[in-house]
Structure formats: C-alpha cells, structure tokens
Structure 1
C-alpha cells in the first residue's frame, strides 16, 4: 500500500553516503524528519533473532514485566492505558551500558540465549546510532563527534490489534523528545504514519524488510537551530494482528545542555532555542502535556 500523495520516505544508503549522498541526508532531516536506512551495519539475521526475543519478552506474565522498572517515569515497563489500550512496551535507559542491559535481562529472567541476542543487538544498534550522529554532524560541515556518549534509551513495543480496533489509532500523535530514533519496525505489519511537512497530511511509511527507519525528535530541532524537522507520527491499526517494533532513542547528554553549535548560529540565523538539559525538557513535555513538539515554543530565547 503506497501513499496516495505519491510521497515516500527518503532512502539513505549508509555505505555510500560521502560525498554523493550527504546533501540527501541533510535534506531528509530538514524536509521529512525521517528516512529509511539501507546498507546499515546490523545483520538481518540479528534483526530476526531480536524480533523473536522481543515477542517472547512481551508475552511474559504481567507480574514479570512489571519488574522492568526504569530510571525515570516511562523508561521501564509501560502497561496498556485508556489512551493507548492496545500498546505496551518494555525499556531500559542507556543501552550503551552493558551493565544496564544485563540488569534489564535480569529483571525479565532472560535465558542465556536471549541475553546473548539482546547484548549483541544493543551493542550493534548503539554503535549505529553513534555512527549516524557523526555522519549527520559531518554532513552539516561540523568537525568532531558531538553526539559521542549521548545515552540512548531502548524501547521494545507490542501492539495487540483486534478486529474491533481496525481503523483506530495504536498510539497517539506525538514527536519523540530526544535527538533521533532508530526503529526496527515490523517487516510484516504496517501502520506507522508520518506527517508530511508541506501538506500537514499523514503519509503511510510502509515496511521494507532489512531496513531501519530513523526519525528526528524535538532536540534535533534545538541542536540544528530549527533546520531539522521533528516529525509528528502515529501508529494506525490496519489489520487484526500483533505488531512488534524495536526502538533506540538517542536522548541528550546526562549533564550537558543541548544547544545549536556556534557554526549553525549567525546574524542571519540567530539562536532560536535556549540551551536545555534533556531531563528538564522531558519534564516540561510531561508537565504541559505537549507531546507533539509544541513544548519547543517554551524554549524561545527571552527577548530583552
């Protein structure tokens, strides 16, 4: 099922990025806020193994899943709610820390084989996030590695779609609060839709086996001084089935603020957002209920 408007998400070849596609990468960040990643470094076999593990973990009894507690609200087990009754997920904060990954495995009584898969996958996807961050910076003409060591949250999601739920929303419209999300979506079940920046209409993002989907969050807009589009997205129920997805969310540094680098600020492009700690921004979104990027307006520099 393609999009009726003839739009489709840009595809970025990670192995063939420089110099031919770096402008295409930045254009995707600015115009779409999301793109498909092909020729990435995660083996298809590992992706399949991880999906199988995710299905098993989300089928565990509720009392075991509830042991998955997080560092902050919403970073551990999320049970179905009235707003999102078809959705539940497990998670951990800082997938780059082997200790945190093992703690996650312990909480859920993962088997040795499951632990092995989770550790290999988490290392591979965290490395990919760091590589992608450095390629985005390089494509913007920046030196160094501005995202190295930024903690990444891990979320594994299950949508239990029923015949009655077809046509309804599996998860409400939102933007991601962090910098970027790398998503292994369900290669068999569609339903993810992103908002087209120009038309404001939702466009289906159809599954492409073996690929990963990257979308940009609110802090990408802050960091890029307004150039990157924090894409609004939702999940629609298309058929009565279970849909699984695996997400890495690059958040923001624990101690340092997120702000536009000096190279992206000048007299023609004044600073659009005050520097902000990820934790403060996350709390701002929660306290205001602004889940679709509106909280960015609260970061505008005060006019003296």
Structure 2
C-alpha cells in the first residue's frame, strides 16, 4: 500500500474517472481534509480492472500490486455480498437480492491519512455518512470513530473489518437500516493506512423502496430516485446537512 502512495503526484493523478461526481479516482489536496489521500478502482475484484490500474501507475504494470489489489478486492466483494444477503433476508426481501447485486458496482479504495504536523488538526475526515449501499473497511490502526445516538464518539478496534450502511441502503430500506455518522481521527505520529470497498448502485440504477417495506408502521420516507442524479446533486451542493432528506425525503402526512 505504501508503494502506491510513494508514487509521484502526477502519476497518481492519472487515476481519474470521467464523471467527477462519482469520486472514484485519486482524491487528495482537498482543503477541508489536508491529511487525506486515496486511490480508487471500480470493480477491482475483476482481474482486468486491477491490471489496467497498475499499468496506469507503472509503465510495465506491477504484477505483485495487481494481484494484491485483485485478491483483497475480491475478498471484500464476496464479504459484502454475504452481508447484503443477510440484511435482505432479515428484512424479508431476499427476492430482491439478485437484481440489487446485478445493479451495483464496487469501488475499492486504498486510503492514507498523514500524521498531523506543526499544529495541524488531527481530523483526517470530518463527520459524514457514506452514500453507498454498504461499505466494508479494514484499518491497520485505530482512528475510525462513530457517533452514538446520545451524541458521543466511540472508537473502533484496529485489525478488524468494519461494516457500515450507507445512505443508498437507508433510502432503499425505507429508513429501517441506519447510515451511521462517522469520522477519522489521527492519533500519534505515524501515517494511518486502511482499505475499503464501497458497494454503490451503478449507472442508471434507481433507488426504489420495495413495497414490502412500506406499511402502516413504516410509511413511505423516500421517493424513488436515480442514484447518479443524487450524486450529481451532492457534488453541486457539498455543504448541505441531511442531503438525502432534502433531495428525496417524503413529508409525513
């Protein structure tokens, strides 16, 4: 992982996506999060996608890095599929599982947070919710924190896989699945590394609540919406509080 981040900036900047609202490529030098740097690959569990990325980073590719990215992404993709199936079965909507998986992509990310220096803030990422269906993350050192319903931050343990629901799943489940607010805090003098997979609806996919999840006790909370249009809205309005509710929320009658 360190080998990737040690590449020249102009090389890492080749990791781009034609649609910036997807934020799937290289992310760095963001004023609000100066400690944060990340590279992303769509569907890296497919060997050709991982190989294409490494040829972008190295003139002759890098078989070792390619195999590492592919094997880790494949493992996370399979784990995400198992977790998503468990959620669908628990909600009683397992008949939707195959189509939901078919209409989703996986974005594999390697992430680096520089240790703060010279009085810099130790906030690696400010409080936010993911916009994915599910996120599965592995952190080598602690730093990821979740906000409880009581308004308290609590740490997560290093060396563990962490599953987070995103706003796409919260909307699709009619609010039955909660998308937690979380942040990254950098403690100590060492850089922090982690990797994650973000399962998201793919191009053209609509987030629509199954009729089985709407009833008297659970009235409709979100209208159907095109996921990519939602991302474009977020890209154009980055500082909104609760953008999902503003964009797709249904007022109670």
What TM-score comes out, normalization by structure 1 length? 0.75
Shift of residue 167, structure 1, vs aligned partner: 5.8
Contact 1:165 1:240 in 2 (8 A): no
Distance 1:290 1:267, change over 3 A: farther
Deviation at 1:236, TM superposition (A): 1.1
Is 1:76 aligned to residue 29 of structure 2? no
Match of 2:125 in 1: 171
Distance verdict in 2 for CA 1:160–1:218, change over 3 Å = same
Contact 1:173 1:292 in 2 (8 A): no
Q: C-alpha displacement at 1:253, in angstroms?
A: 3.3
Distance of 2:240 and 2:51 partners within structure 1:
31
Q: Report if the CA contact (8 A) 2:221-2:251 is conserved.
A: no
**Corresponding residue of 2:101:** 148
2:146 to 194, 211, 233: 194
Q: Which residue of 2 aligns with 1:18?
A: none
Greater CA drift, 219-228 or 261-270:
261-270
CA distance in 2 between counterparts of 1:265 and 1:98 reads 40
Cα pair distance change 1:201/1:83, threshold 3 Å: same
Question: Is 1:170–1:234's contact at 8 Å kept on the other side of the alignment?
Answer: yes
The 3-state SS of whatever aligns with 2:71 is helix
CA offset at residue 268 of structure 1?
2.8
Q: What's the CA shift for 1:271?
A: 1.2
* Cα distance, 1:194–1:298 mapped onto 2, change above 3 Å: same
Is it true that 1:236 corresponds to 2:185 in the alignment?
yes
* Aligned match of 1:21: none
Contact 2:25–2:39 (CA under 8 A) maintained in structure 1: yes
How big is the shift at 1:100? Answer: 2.5
Residues 204 and 152 of structure 1: is their aligned pair in 2 closer, same or farther, counting only changes over 3 Å?
A: same
**How far did residue 132 of structure 1 move?**
1.5
> Aligned partners of 2:84, 2:219: CA distance in 1, in Å?
23
Q: Distance in 1 between matches of 2:143 and 2:18?
A: 30
Total equivalences in the alignment: 246
1:124 to 57, 66, 75: 75
Residue 139 of structure 2 corresponds to which residue in structure 1?
A: 185
Question: Structure 1's 292 and 219: CA in aligned 2 closer, same or farther, altered over 3 A?
Answer: farther
Q: What is the CA RMSD across the aligned residues, in angstroms?
A: 2.1
Q: Where do residues 1-304 of structure 1 align in structure 2 (5 Å cutoff)?
A: 54-73=1-20, 74-109=23-58, 110-144=61-95, 145-146=97-98, 147-149=100-102, 150-164=104-118, 168-186=122-140, 189-196=141-148, 198-207=149-158, 209=159, 211-290=160-239, 293-301=242-250
Q: Structure 1 residues 261, 142: closer, same or farther in 2, change over 3 A? A: same
1:129 aligns to what SS in structure 2?
helix
Alpha-carbon distance in 1 for matches of 2:144, 2:168? 21
Aligned partners of 2:46 and 2:70 also within 8 Å? no
TM-score, normalising length from structure 2? 0.89
